[in-house]
Amino acid sequence: MTNSEWWRTATVYQIYPKSFCDSGNKGTGDLQGIISKLDYLQKLGVDALWLTPVYKSPMIDNGYDIADYYSINPDFGTMTDFDELLAQAKSRGIRIIMDIVVNHTSTEHHWFQSALGNKESEYRDYYIWKDPVDGKEPTNWQSKFGGNAWALDEVTNQYYLHLFAKEQADLNWENPKVRQEVKEIISFWAEKGIDGFRLDVINLISKQQEYLNDDIGDGRRFYTDGPKVHQYLQEISQAVFQKYGSVTVGEMSSTTLEHCQQYSAQDGKELSMVFNFHHLKADYKDGDKWTKAPFDFLSLKSIFNHWQTGLNGNGWGALFWCNHDQPRVVSRLGNDQEYRELSAKMLASSVHMMQGTPYIYQGEEIGMTNPHYTSIEQYRDLESTNMFDIMVNQDQSVSESEMLEILDQKSRDNSRTPMQWNRSANAGFSKGLPWISVADNYKEINAQQAVEDKSSAFYFYQKLIQLRKNIDVITTGNYKDLLPEHNELFCYQRENKTHRLIAIHNYYKNEVGLNLDVEGRDAEYILSNYEDMEEEKPQSNLVLRPYECRVILIKK
């Protein structure tokens, strides 16, 4: 393994700056707030921080609508604050990964402002414009946030494409000038000493040029993993990523294993790794996010199996449950009432023992839960409020109370509540009124309490991070599901030339018995979420307690 592959044994911590720590009383987090928490992050042991966008932005989509790629949003601080963060992180051995959003820009970006209403603008062709068809939108493609994906420029009577909000106009990657701009943006940040980039919805950048109506879907098949996406990534990679030795993480929307093998083929031609979401659709009823449904355990395991075996030797993936778009996993697949700590740890172990690079989302390490909001006024995310408006007011397909239950399970705001630092007002997040309400449970669940309690989830995550660094089979081992049909246990094996590792996870609150072939060999427990376990010797007859996990290492 070369030094440039540090990320194979690393763990990344994701920060959503708006909700992480406010150094003052604005009610929104900032860069100085992050700096003040670097010691905490160092104690946890993470290798790198991924910051969601901190660039100048009207914040319609909390920074995923960039108005200027070269400056810091004043709400977060200044470029001097940013440089200080970078230096302070480096001095603690922590690297920085920036979020780059180049599928689209904010409609406030000067390129779009110049292009809007002016067919002659030098920036007109930076975006995707189409004439009306029969006086209407050029295609029936749907925005990911609801409604049609085209918006009208009344002055020129042409539509522009926006796969996300109408304030996020898609860039035209067919235009070489756009690709040149992207290279310059990335070089600017790489020159500053950034170690890597997380590329937002990067598999959507190449659209099929026919712009056809989609008779069987929402249009995604015409732009997902599109015709020139690999070519474009290779071009950017050669020009900038390879030059700077950057780690690159591509966020992949509705992708396939075959494409991900190519995106992350370990030849350095495209990306270092992929970040995909298939396992997080295990609680989508018939693939529809906007439903309230229990998760399908067998399907969850089979998705992991497909990706773990498919990427092994052919690519590299991110391992994660939580991010700023996903509900809290302990509320989603665990039990945030009776077994919060135990189930949070068990879930952590179930992805951290796989092959890939783990990502911890702020607050996950202390077992933060969904806030369980009870009124639509508490939600801030445009996707949640749009879907509420569409489903409750326009289509009337669900009642208000049903929609609130769906949002309680699915809203992106579930993960965007302020980080819970301590028992003081606003959970120690801000001295002012937070932009989004803190979860009520912050007096019991907070970082201070977790750091004081040696048996907390915080130390469990700390241990997971260390195990990955010390035990090679966690990085290199082949993966095999030992009990794919089991209805309660997720039990897989990792194996390389010298070791076998068996990770067993009980996803439910019933006790479950199991017979395993581990006796008579040099076997030891290296991890468990029940305190009495680690002293024991592994036996072939096991009884797994509620949400119990055990990891056994066997020398060959």
Among 105, 253, 343, 385, binds ligand TEU (CB under 6 A): 253
Is 308 within 8 Å of 257 (Cβ atoms)?
A: no
Q: How far is the CB of 251 from ligand TEU (least distance, A)?
A: 6
The three-state secondary structure class of 493 is strand
75 near ligand TEU, rule: CB under 6 A: no
The dihedral formed by the CA atoms of 431, 435, 440 and 445, expressed in degrees to the nearest 10: -70
Query: What span, in angstroms and rounded, lies between the C-alpha atoms of 75 and 409?
Result: 30
Among 49, 85, 98, 101, the residue binding ligand TEU under the rule CB under 6 A is 101
**What's the closest the beta carbon of residue 122 comes to ligand TEU, in angstroms?**
25
Least distance in Å: CB of 166 to ligand TEU? 12
Binding of residue 170 to ligand TEU (CB under 6 A): no
Among residue numbers 198 through 237, which ones bind ligand TEU (CB under 6 A)? 200-201
Among positions 30, 47, 61, 413, the unique one binding ligand TEU when judged by CB under 6 A:
61
Report how far Cα 310 is from the mean position of its chain's Cα atoms: 20
What span, in angstroms and rounded, lies between the C-alpha atoms of 143 and 161? Answer: 9
**Catalytic residue, candidates 75, 81, 200, 365:** 200
Handedness of CA 469, 475, 481, 486 (dihedral sign): positive
**3-class DSSP state for residue 313?**
coil
Determine, following the binding rule CB under 6 A, whether residue 64 of this chain makes contact with ligand TEU: yes
Q: How many residues bind ligand TEU (CB under 6 A)?
A: 14
Please enumerate in sequence order all residues whose Cβ is within 8 A of that of 19, keeping only pairs 6 or more positions apart, or say none: 29, 362, 416, 417, 418, 419, 429, 435, 436
Span 279-298, contacts to ligand TEU by CB under 6 A: 289
* Contact assessment for residue 280 and residue 229, using Cβ atoms and an 8 Å cutoff: no
Q: For 268, left (φ over 0), alpha (ψ -120 to 50), or beta?
A: left
- For residues 326 and 280, the answer to whether their CB atoms sit within 8 Å is yes
The catalytically annotated residue of 153, 251, 364, 365 is 251
75 is catalytic: no
Which of 26, 144, 166, 221 is in the footprint of ligand TEU by CB under 6 A? 144
Our finding on whether 164 is near ligand TEU (CB under 6 A) is yes
For the CB of residue 339, give the shortest distance to ligand TEU in the complex, in Å: 28
Residue closer to ligand TEU (CB basis): 168 or 475:
168
Task: Please give the sequence-ordered ranges of beta strands (E in DSSP) within 19-100, or none if there are none.
Answer: 48-51, 55-56, 68-72, 95-100
Between 52 and 493, whose beta carbon lies closer to ligand TEU? 52
Query: From CA 551, how far away is CA 502, in angstroms rounded?
Result: 6
Closest distance to ligand TEU from the beta carbon of 382 (Å)? 8
Whole-number CA gyration radius for the chain: 23
Q: Would you say 18 or 550 has its CB closer to ligand TEU?
A: 18
Instruction: Report the largest interatomic distance among the alpha carbons of the chain, rounded to a whole angstrom.
Output: 79
- For the bound state, the minimum distance from the C-beta of residue 281 to ligand TEU, rounded and expressed in Å, comes to 11
Contacts to ligand TEU from residues 471-530, by CB under 6 A:
none
Nearest to 389 by CA among 147, 37, 70: 147
Catalytic (active site) residue 251? yes
Name the residue among 510, 509, 511, 473 with its Cα closest to residue 492.
473
Smallest gap from Cβ 24 to ligand TEU, in A, equals 25
Contact 106, 160 (CB under 8 A): no
Q: Which is nearer to ligand TEU, 327 or 477 (CB)?
A: 327
Give the distance, in angstroms, between the CA of residue 441 and the centroid of all CA atoms in the same chain: 24
- Does residue number 383 form part of the binding site for ligand TEU (CB under 6 A)? yes
Strands 499-506 and 68-72: unpaired
Please spell the DSSP secondary structure of 194-235, one letter per residue. --EEEETTGGGS---TT----SSSSSGGGTTT-TTHHHHHHH
CB of 324 to ligand TEU, least distance (A): 6
User: Among 50, 44, 42, 46, which residue's Cα sits nearest to residue 20?
Assistant: 50
Is position 325 an interface residue for ligand TEU (rule: CB under 6 A)?
Answer: yes
Q: Quick one: 66 or 351, whose CB is closer to ligand TEU?
A: 66
The amino acid that residue 426 corresponds to is N
Instruction: Verify binding: residue 413, ligand TEU, rule CB under 6 A.
Output: no
Q: How far is the CB of 64 from ligand TEU (least distance, A)?
A: 3
Q: Which residues bind ligand TEU (CB under 6 A)?
A: 61, 64, 101, 144, 164, 200-201, 251, 253, 289, 324-325, 383, 412
Catalytic site positions: 200, 251
